[in-house]
Structure 1
């Protein structure tokens, strides 16, 4: 599993910005709230591995294509491993938000609470470089 796959699934949608646009922490959180609600198909307030996998399987990537099943499974597994901090086999909205906060902070290079087009481009380049270096344990 690579950092690039994780980045593509959870961060790029929030950071796919034109050079003049900005994503604020609040707007990224709002988008994540919507994704969480759409993914929580049984409306129990938690995401199961199956719900995350179903969402990843339907996610569109570059060119409007869906992720292939192997990629979807890798991303779902990686998301669960990183987001399920209490290891109960499900992800709460608070756990999901905590992960987004951590990822957002990593890409907010100047720490102004916004990710602009240049920061987003740098994040995409870092993800590509990490993907080329192979799997990571992070």
Structure 2
């Protein structure tokens, strides 16, 4: 992907805006429990089975949480595809209430936020940049909400 001063790319721990990633801390409290990352929360919410959700919440890493969430050993909750953007938005709102995370998000000013995963064409830009970048768009929405509330 072509770099631009008007675009913030994020994806890996080595990138300057790693804090925007679903794999990065901080965690947050929701549903009466602590979630280590957005990834843990999002993957757990795919399932209605409480044991599966708890196993994902307790996963040692966000990568493991994602792997557990991508398993189909337990069926996905009905209508997941229609719910996933709202669940992600809820998780992002919770994460970016944390001052350190909020500061990272606000430091992006009005720049376009793009998850640079070459593998994901829904949440990210994909390898060729043609992906939907839903995560970037939801982050920009949360950034606007934070500014409006200030």
- Provide TM-score, normalisation by structure 2: 0.27
Structure having the larger proportion of residues in helix: 1
Larger of the two Rg values belongs to structure: 2
